[in-house]
Amino acid sequence: MGVQSKPAPLPPWGYAVAGSTGAVLANALVYPLDIVKTRLQVQIKRKPGEASDHSDPHYTSTWDAITKIVAAEGTQGLYAGMSGALLGVASTNFAYFYWYSIVRELYFKSAKTTAPPSTAVELVLGAIAGAVAQLCTIPVAVVTTRQQTQSKADRKGLLDTAREVIHSEDGVFGLWRGLKASLVLVVNPAITYGAYERLKGVFFPGKTRLTAGEAFLLGAMSKALATIATQPLIVAKVGLQSKPPPQRQGKPFKGFIEVMQFIVKHEGLMSLFKGIGPQIVKGFMVQGLLMMTKERMEFLFVLLFRYVRKIRSEQLAKAAELAAAAAAKAKVAVPIVTK
């Protein structure tokens, strides 16, 4: 019986803080890969002999994208929109881990068991948590995607980009563009964390705490599996949240199916997997670092809560002793009344 199936030793916000902290640190380290994979996913493949447009650079690979971005925008171009992206990462992961810990605990209470849930149940629990998290945090993702695909000349801050989205598209609801694709994509973290729990039980059955290397390996493996399975949806979501390609003449896509149809028509079926190289490398690194950091953060929180409980119990014991001493003193001080 795996230790991970026991009731959570931390409150939901403890898991949420641990998860979001790990996610922010991991994404900050590999952020340039996020810029590259986003730009690779929104560009439309040029036809042979088509003229080059310097205002809309074309990238042939991850390294080509890095060198062209640095040449055009400097090193800071690899970190465009980073503040908004990290805000989105923090909020999304906080919401996800918060709700994931809650729905998992509710499952154990309703099922009245401590046995590990099946893979199907793990996926459902993860999907529920992911859906709630997406509803709360998708506006930040929309704004960040816009920032990442803006040229240096057009680049704006987080709030100005949000205003541009609101004024140029569907009003405030423009901040929720790609919501359907995002809700479908909850299967990605569901697959990731479902696979992580299952792999943890397979490779390290009954182990209380994983080492940093073990957590990194399992996190990276589970994310790679989830990315390969959901890459077409990831590409479609990025297409929905960025500005429409020139061929659309400013007309936004109505849904992720339309984006996928457009990509297949203009670039071929395999283009639904464009940007998968940096996507997997980024996911591999981020998820590995996230789970490694999350495991350590959870352990630190457990120690912190134990220390706080110990201090409280000592204070209560001391208060009880003082109260007992005061009561005994008061009893002695009461004069004995005789007839």
Tokens of 45: 């493949």
The answer to the question of residue 133 being in a domain is: yes
pLDDT of 67 reads 92
Amino acid letter, residue 33: L
Q: For tokens 């929104």, what's the residue? A: 42
Cβ distance 106 to 80 under 8 Å? no
Q: CA 262 → CA 236, 258, 265, 281, distances in Å?
A: 10, 6, 5, 26
Contacts of 296 (CB under 8 A, 6+ apart): 212
The domain total for the chain is 1
Q: What angle do CA 142, 36, 238 make, to 5 degrees?
A: 30
The answer to the question of residue 61 being in a domain is: yes
Amino acid letter, residue 134: Q
Cβ distance 165 to 146 under 8 Å? yes
pLDDT of 187 reads 76
Sheet strands (E) in the chain: none
Q: Count CB atoms within 10 A of the CB of residue 100.
A: 25
pLDDT of 144 reads 84
Low-confidence residues of the chain: pLDDT under 50: 1-8
The answer to the question of residue 339 being in a domain is: no
Domain that holds residue 201: 3-333
The answer to the question of residue 263 being in a domain is: yes
Closest CA to 29 of 297, 275, 284, 222: 284
Q: How far apart are CA 151 and CA 73, in angstroms?
A: 8
Burial of 121-134, coded b for 16+ CB within 10 Å and e otherwise, reads ebbbbbbbbbbbbb
Tokens of 339: 């007839």
Instruction: Please report, for the domain that includes residue 24, its CATH number.
Output: 1.50.40.10
The answer to the question of residue 338 being in a domain is: no
pLDDT of 56 reads 66
Q: How many CA atoms lie within 13 A of 204 on its CB side?
A: 15
What is the pTM for the complete model shown?
0.57
